[in-house]
Structure 1
């Protein structure tokens, strides 16, 4: 007996039209990837608007189905709100969490790592909890496991699954037809090009534009609107206080386990990975034409001589920021960098951040870059997101917690 015979169709009632997968013709693709699944391309920029992108919702007393559209899937109709959610990357999982559906997530990439990281922020949100530990680690999911999970929706970009190279057209269509639809967008991370077979139906979105569409899937549009309003208020306040461009600091974002190999990331290029740094308008010390994720050495860092170093992953509980600072201070070349000499080495969290981390990371980065304007960022070595005096907070934690908790 083959696998499909052991697992008869469990298809939810949903409709496909427009650019949906089966009509679009799925073909497997392959692209050079690192752990973020990176390739390069260019297109649109992150939207700062809090308005909901256009989507179709249909509901009648006799038919409670509703339809949501997003590239590359096209229009997908659901007959009820999904109760179990498959995800791969944490921007999608973070969206479910922000809408009060964090417990519905049954899978994600590196769940224990991201559970620990997200829970560095939940202590600042009264009554909000999260437990992603022990979930299925879904970076390269197996078809068999997706049958076992039997999720009501796959919040994952089918084009990014195709890019893994282990899924073909038939596999993607089979899961869509017999389990539940795909609904996600990943190549908007840096506005990259999807596999060639997907290019004619792909579109790039900002982080909060994707969030609005996920909110429509989960029928939580009011929560989205409330959170987007908080973000918009914060961005407007920040924008009104930023110094002239030539008075802003030069900054580099780095990631390294031991500072033997150093990865550098852009701050101002298009895509949702920079949704918390781009609004702050700092000058990229290495220039934004340097490929994000490129390796550099200390000589290159000294030549760029940034005013500020942002240490990606520094908020994770397994990272020792004190040790990172000491490593740079003790190095004969790195110690000459302005950011090191002036003690301006700060922790960051994650780039695939989701809306709640986006709020926190926008606030923390504003304080790290412009302490004289937005209040200082506390010296941080470990532990949860620091307590910030209420008068120095850039957004209201209680409002956010109340929205998540409904």
Structure 2
């Protein structure tokens, strides 16, 4: 809390310190990390100058500290790998697990059980990989208004807030001064949320914001945990998977039309499958035709049964379909029983599928690419099996599109 409350201000953690220029006295600084291997001079917080060297894990200082840069927070300096980490979004939880630091996570933004179950559904197919989410703190109040109690961040007393501070300034009751207060009194921020949909961040962030791909963010988070080798190994698996997919895609005129939706209360909520941002990183590489491409699809766009029949997609992909809030097998039955929806080609042909979680990390991305390949192009990549919830379905080894054991070994540190 600030001094005006009369409560004592906690001592700022010495375990981590925030580095980089502060623009206009505020939080948001441009990326300042070096890209070559020559020594550079860096001004320390005491005003002295120390020599540093840019390495594959960011900038390492002579005193053993190191720095990692990412917009919108700029350069953050670490005295050691964070051991107690606040996480809001599932993507960052997945990254943290991927680099062997899942036990450091103390929180998730929404229902930890629901988010944790989604990760469990994928990790079930990776020998020795798990995520203990039973005792995680739920950051969001769960009320109608999206917000997080600032006092909760003091109570958690994390070493790092692995979340975009611009996201928090969009919450009710949060101002940039609150972001600075938490940075100074608890721990730094590190994250980038608006790259997910290339969305417009809050106005105070826009001049300094930068968009990244999923794997660019994953690389920077790997540098925070000093796990570049794990990142490189996982990215090799992903690159090989993408090469396999691209080399086996059918001609464009033989690809299906696809509608990505959420369905609830007799209403379809659409999303563009080829939109920029890592929300579509598991669908965009397939080059399928988006049935909604001609419409200006926003968060407020909704379609009726009749409108969906006019679009008439060959395939319906239901977002958040793997062990989440939606029972896609039941949704498919509901659509098949409806006099209008049953005429949609995807429904007629039994091609209503559970699709991936848009807030995906690197491990999730691997499974979700495989899943989408089988759903869109079964002749090329094998049939997607029946799925009625729970763990990601078992795929015979000869039909898998990436090596599960290799991924499990990487997470275990055997790179």
- The TM-score range, normalised by the shorter chain, is 0.7 to 0.9
CA distance in 2, matches of 1:322, 1:265: 20
Conserved in 2, the CA contact under 8 Å of 1:188 and 1:205? yes
Alignment CA distance shift 1:198-1:4 (3 Å) = farther
Distance 2:23 2:360 in 1: 27
Give CA-to-partner distance per residue, 1:224-254, whole Å, 9 cap, x none.
0000110000001111111122221001111
Which one has a bigger Cα radius of gyration? 2
Distance 2:135 2:314 in 1: 40
- Counterpart contact for 1:98–1:356, Cα < 8 Å: yes
Answer whether contact 1:83 1:104 (CA < 8 A) is retained.
yes
Q: CA deviation at 1:54?
A: 8.0
Equivalence for 1:188: 195
The match for 1:11 is 13
Cα deviation, residue 402, structure 1:
0.8
Give the C-alpha shift of residue 323 in structure 1: 1.7
**Paired residues for 1:172-251 under 5 Å:** 172-251=179-258
The aligned counterpart of 2:59 is 57
C-alpha separation in 2, matches of 1:22 and 1:129 = 43
1:117/1:349 contact within 8 Å kept:
no
Tell me the residue number matched to 2:293: 287
Higher RCO by CA contacts (8 Å cutoff, separation 6 or greater)? 1
Aligned partners of 1:14, 1:25: CA distance in 2, in Å? 13
Kept after mapping to 1: 8 A contact 2:13/2:159: no
Provide the rounded CA distance (Å) in 1 between the counterparts of 2:194 and 2:208: 12
- What is residue 135 of structure 1 aligned with on the other side? 136
The match for 1:50 is: none
Measure how far apart 1:383 and its partner are: 2.6
Decide whether the 8 Å contact of 2:58 with 2:223 is kept in 1. no
Distance 1:212 1:119, change over 3 A: same
CA apart distance, 1:196: 1.6
Deviations 1:26-59 (A, max 9, x none): 7xxxxxxxxxxxxxxxxxxxxxxxxxx9873214
Map 1:259-298 → 2, pairs under 5 A:
260-287=266-293, 289-293=295-299, 294-298=301-305
Residue deviations 1:161-215, cap 9 Å, x none? 1112411122111110111110000011111121121111100000110110011
Q: Give the Å deviation of 1:73.
A: 0.6
Q: Does 1:364 pair with 2:366? A: no
Using the size of structure 2 for normalisation, the TM-score is 0.86
Count of equivalent residues? 376
TM-score, L = length of structure 1:
0.88
- For 1:318 and 1:157, how far apart are their aligned partners in 2? 25
Give 5+ residue unaligned stretches, structure 1.
27-52
Distance in 2, matches of 1:55 and 1:17, equals: 17
Query: Which of 404, 407, 410 does residue 397 from structure 1 map onto?
Result: 404
Question: Which whole-Å CA distance do the structure 1 matches of 2:294 and 2:87 have between them?
Answer: 30
Q: Against the structure 1 CA distance between its residues 306 and 4, is the aligned structure 2 distance closer, same or farther, given a 3 Å change threshold?
A: farther
Contact 2:320 2:354 in 1 (8 A): yes
Deviates further, 238-247 or 331-340 = 238-247
1:42 alignment counterpart: none
What is the deviation of 1:290?
3.2
CA distance in 1, matches of 2:294, 2:113: 32
Q: CA deviation at 1:10?
A: 3.0
